[in-house]
Amino acid sequence: MAAVSPGICLLDYSLRDSGWLDEYGGRKGTEILVAEDRDGMIGFSLLARKDGGSAEFRIALHPHRPGQGLGRPVAILVPAHGFSDAACEKIILLVRKNNPRAQRLYESLRFSPCGECTELVNGEQVSFPQMEIDRKTFEGVMKP
């Protein structure tokens, strides 16, 4: 795993041992994208391409940055990057049940619920709602 700056260590379980970076860092077809502004790191995202024309999208904002309107640009730019690949037809994301702000953001961008999955987080099985958006819907969101 690449060196991580001390400020990043404040991020959630996504950066801990066996977190997102360990899980996805070496996977073929996975990109790790860092979002920064003049004040420093906003957070990072993963875009993991899968067979069949889909990609998984995950986002982790710095714990001191939520509520500043920064999630929306990241939640638009990363899928836009994913859909720039002609083979990508659908992007799926996981959202915490206890994060209604993120759920509302994704719904406002026309991601729709598509199921639920369970993942091991800090030694416990945690259930996550899944949401998805297809290329056509995303392009409709992006039209002025």
Phi, psi of 95 (to 5 degrees): -135, 140
Q: Tokens 């709602």 identify what position? A: 129
> What pLDDT, on the 0 to 100 scale, is given for residue 5?
40
Q: pTM higher than 0.85, yes or no?
A: no
Query: Which residue would you say has higher pLDDT here, 90 or 67?
Result: 90
Mean pLDDT is highest, among 7-21, 32-46, 92-106, 118-132, for 92-106
Q: 78: closest CA among 121, 41, 49?
A: 49
**Distance (Å, rounded) from C-alpha 42 to C-alpha 25?**
19
Residue 94 has pLDDT above 90, yes or no: no
Residue 142 in tokens:
């992006």
Q: Which residues contact 116 (CB under 8 A, 6 or more apart)?
A: 127, 128, 129, 130
Residue 114 has pLDDT above 90, yes or no: yes
Domain 6-142 in CATH: superfamily? Answer: Gcn5-related N-acetyltransferase (GNAT) (3.40.630.30)
Query: Which residue would you say has higher pLDDT here, 8 or 122?
Result: 122
The percentage of residues in the chain with a pLDDT greater than 90, rounded to a whole number, is: 31
Q: Which residues of 8-23 are buried (b: 16+ CB within 10 A; e: fewer)?
A: beebbebbeeebbbeb
> What pLDDT, on the 0 to 100 scale, is given for residue 96?
83
